[in-house]
Chain A
Amino acid sequence: MSNVPPELEYTDAHEWIRRLPDGIAEVGITDHAQHALGDIVYVELPDLGRTVSAGEACAVVESVKSASDVYAPVSGEVIGRNDALETAPEAINQDPYGAGWMLRVRLAPGGGDAKTLSAAAYLDLLGKESD
């Protein structure tokens, strides 16, 4: 069963959002997503300073047999990226909500308003998808 920490927010495209202080959001992909992708071999992250808007493809996660876009769940400026994934992409498989974080975004005014799911709602969604 997928691990879905209750304190995070989610999207229906299987990203998670952690609200940090000072209007910053940390973003990654969920345990369910990493499991579906399989062993991740490469991660392409956006440049620091790039402005992303919610729903825009901003990163790519590659496994051996697939390449998936990661969509920005919030709008704002990319102020942090997890460069450790460049040499150790397996961190996403091993610890998707911790060492596998992907980017940090300084929210634009209203940039965090995009519709996100609570942990309970995301669990519901996973339940429906597996039917």
Chain B
Amino acid sequence: MAFIPHTRADVEEMLAVIGVGSLDALFEEIPAPLRAAELTGVPEALTEMQVGRLMRERAACDGTPLCFIGAGAYEHHVPAAVWAITTRGEFYTAYTPYQAEASQGTLQLLYEFQTMLATLTGMEVSNASLYDGASATGEACLMAVRANRKSTSRRILVPTTLHPRYREVGHSIAGQQGLVFEVVPYDPARGTIAVDALDRAAAGGDVTALVVQQPNFFGGFEDVDALTDWAHAHDALLIAVVNPISLGMLRSPGEWGQRGADIVVGEGQPLGVPLSSGGPYFGFMTTRKEFVRHMPGRIVGRTLDSAGQEGYTLTLQAREQHIRRAKATSNICTNQGLLVTAATIYLSLMGAEGLERTAAAAHARTRQLRAALLGIPGVRGAFDGPFFHETVLRLDRPVAPVLAALAAQGILGGYDLARDYPALAPAMLVCATETKTDADIERYAAALERILAPAPPSTANS
């Protein structure tokens, strides 16, 4: 039971070595009135066969709908090799690599990951990952407060074109340390940051950092050069939030504006991690070398061993909670090691060309989808201007019932923007990736056309 290997004889002999008469005697220091009664809320044990049956039934309930939702989580092809290797016990069941000599596999992999993320984002240094894109953005705001010694205001400018969940999580994580998040509206014609609104926000005093998502939540492109230069002209740091697949073809944040972004974060899920109902994913963070000691999270360095041979170890640990305690850069202990393992293998297989092709193929499918849906009466585009692999469409009626009707046909048609952007409603964010086919897109378009078609004249009771 419970994967416990002891025989009855083992237990008795072990109790004798300890010098007690029963297992219960081992708990004698717990005050008797506190001892728990039977856990009535826990069901009786299932065998592996029974639990397997149960889980397959539960999974079957949820089915495998055709998915056109993005909004921060993207369905990309994951090569079989990625998870075949990632789920090897040596990666899967290892602990955080504190004992470096017994963890060279994980450590070297993390060093390779840091190198890949640095080159992808155009920055000098990377950590070994954070929890997810939203929490990484919150951590970046806290880091900006530590790193920007020219600003004392703790004011972070947060455009509404940043993922709404990222804004909320940033507030939950950083709000308690006195950070002030000032909302910057978007230009309703283009769906990008209204630059004149930035100047108004800056008039209130010094600015610690400006957060810019590229491509933004609507899939559109911000004028990142102007925004980066604006931030630096105001002695603010520029925090870039990016989709790593898009960096296969987009200019890296290190090349934005005159001096480049200062901190780059994002959601790592598109790099070989399945949608997985929302997690586990991983957040990444890269920065300039001069800010490395302000960066939260694990960092791996290459060094030498006592025989002069190359090896890898966790470094800069004095920033971390287990040493600095109340003065640590963050309370974070873990990275998302396993997901980073998958992402490193994914990036190794894709390389620069595979990544660029993936970006192009995903984008081509979204253009195809957009064209197909815009051909349906009652559907129109929301914004002018180019986009990447995700776009906003407006409908002539509330979106929620339309999406429900599509879901009933096994199609997840998009993300309803009514709650996060009431002024845009009725509108939805749709996405296609390289995983979609002509037939998938035709199926979606046909279903939507039927749903939006004018109802035949009703003869029912009025």
Whether chain A touches chain B in the assembled complex (some CB pair under 8 Å): yes
Q: Identify the A interface with B (CB < 8 A).
A: 41-42, 44, 47, 62-67, 69
Q: Mark B146-167, 1 if CB is under 8 A from A, else 0.
A: 0001000000000000000000
Bound-state Cα–Cα, A44 to B324, Å: 14
Not counting A42-B318, A63-B318, A65-B318, a sample of 11 additional A-B residue pairs whose C-beta atoms are within 8 angstroms of each other reads A41-B318, A42-B293, A64-B318, A65-B317, A65-B323, A66-B318, A66-B323, A67-B319, A67-B323, A67-B324, A67-B327
Total A-B pairs in contact (CB under 8 Å)? Answer: 20
- The distance from the CB of B344 to the nearest CB of chain A, in whole angstroms, is 26
- The distance from the CB of A57 to the nearest CB of chain B, in whole angstroms, is 9
Size bracket of the B interface: under 10
Of all chain B residues, the one with the shortest Cβ separation from A61 is B318
Bound-state Cα–Cα, A65 to B324, Å: 10
- The distance from the CB of A117 to the nearest CB of chain B, in whole angstroms, is 26
* A64/B293 in contact, CB under 8 A: no
Name A's interface SS: strand
Bound-state Cα–Cα, A64 to B327, Å: 16
- The distance from the CB of A50 to the nearest CB of chain B, in whole angstroms, is 11
Name B's interface SS: helix
- The distance from the CB of A72 to the nearest CB of chain B, in whole angstroms, is 17
For A64, the chain B residues whose CB sits under 8 A away are 317-318
For A41, the chain B residues whose CB sits under 8 A away are 318
For B293, the chain A residues whose CB sits under 8 A away are 42, 44
Bound-state Cα–Cα, A41 to B303, Å: 14
For A42, the chain B residues whose CB sits under 8 A away are 293, 318
For A69, the chain B residues whose CB sits under 8 A away are 327
Bound-state Cα–Cα, A69 to B293, Å: 16
Bound-state Cα–Cα, A63 to B324, Å: 11
For A65, the chain B residues whose CB sits under 8 A away are 317-318, 323
- The distance from the CB of B320 to the nearest CB of chain A, in whole angstroms, is 9
- The distance from the CB of A131 to the nearest CB of chain B, in whole angstroms, is 27
Of all chain A residues, the one with the shortest Cβ separation from B328 is A67
Bound-state Cα–Cα, A47 to B149, Å: 10
